[in-house]
Amino acid sequence: MKALVYTGVQELTYREEKDPIEKDGESILEVQASGICGSDMHAYHGKDERRVPPLILGHEVSGKIINGKLKNKTAVLNPLITCGKCEFCLAKREHLCPNRVLLGMNRPYERQGAFAELITVPNTNIYDVPEKLNVTEAAVAEPTAVAYHAVQIGEKSLKKDIKDCRILVQGAGAIGLLCSLMLAKIKKCQNLVMSDPNQLRLDECSKHVEAKFVSPTNKDVNSDGFDIVFDTVGLVVSRQQAINVVKPGGSIIHIGLTQPAGEFNFRKATLQEITFIGTYCYTNQDFRDTIKILANKDIGNLDWIEYRDLKKGGDAFKQIHDGTCSAPKIVLIP
């Protein structure tokens, strides 16, 4: 099979790779679409110890099963593989499983990813793509589930109705846009601000969601001005701004993973009873709910997705790196 392989820092090579081997309890998917995630970009920059070259990246994937009892099923894969036996899995909090593995990682366990023509996955991680949902659009189910879970836990942390809140979403990438779409179209929030230093991205997001779009330095991103902040960036500077602009008693929902440590105003967090919640993924039920949301167009049409050929995926990574790409999400097609 052909695959786009992460071979070194800021280096991707489109080349021939071995086909996946059939295993009991697993199926092989013929990939029809695979999305580029922010975590793939972290690996590309050499900043992810869980992804070490050579490795096929990619975990946002849909296509057609080509073997076994599920043969010919049009499917979207939940890339989060869990043990099913620990206290968290048994409590339906699979996303906290200490033995969880994600497609497109090779530390501590190897699972080759979806930037390829074929990929293997446990049958328990295979979900039907509804007829109302295009198979290439289904690839964004995973980041949509991340955003859905973040909005759900953010709403539960609040002491007032989320519709009445002033909300800041930091970052105009896929997770930022998806959080904003969830907030605006499903939760009916009308006082929403999205910030990003990349005007190209802000302009693109403004076509798809009702919000105020500003630079992070804009005066509207004001101190003690927001009931809840969704940090989809995860930089030291975004966390510092989040704690500065959140109101007393407010919440920060931290989704971004760009910088794992750094200075933070714990004094304000303590004195003003700020709730800080880190969130990385989603439960199996979140994933099921997300597929329905996408199929029913509850967050609108998905025309903000940009499709590229897998063999030109290296160019897409470079454009994201350079900040010259306006699309919130690029999906690669083998």
Average pLDDT over residues 69-80: 97
* Per-residue pLDDT tens digits for 163-219: 999 999 999 999 999 999 999 999 999 999 999 999 999 999 999 999 999 999 999
Q: How far apart are the C-alpha atoms of 137 and 32, rounded to whole Å?
A: 10
> What pLDDT was estimated at residue 257?
87
Q: Which residues have C-beta within 8 Å of that of residue 46, sequence separation ≥ 6?
A: 9, 10
Q: In the chain, what are the domains? A: 2-128+304-333 (3.90.180.10), 144-278 (3.40.50.720)
* Per-residue pLDDT tens digits for 13-57: 999 999 999 999 999 999 999 999 999 999 999 999 999 999 999
> What pLDDT was estimated at residue 322?
94
What is the pTM for the complete model shown?
A: 0.97
Q: How far apart are the C-alpha atoms of 130 and 207, rounded to whole Å?
A: 26
**With 90 as the cut, is the pLDDT of residue 109 above it?**
no
**With 90 as the cut, is the pLDDT of residue 238 above it?**
yes
* Per-residue pLDDT tens digits for 26-36: 999 999 999 99
Cis-peptide, bond into residue 248, ω within 30° of zero: no
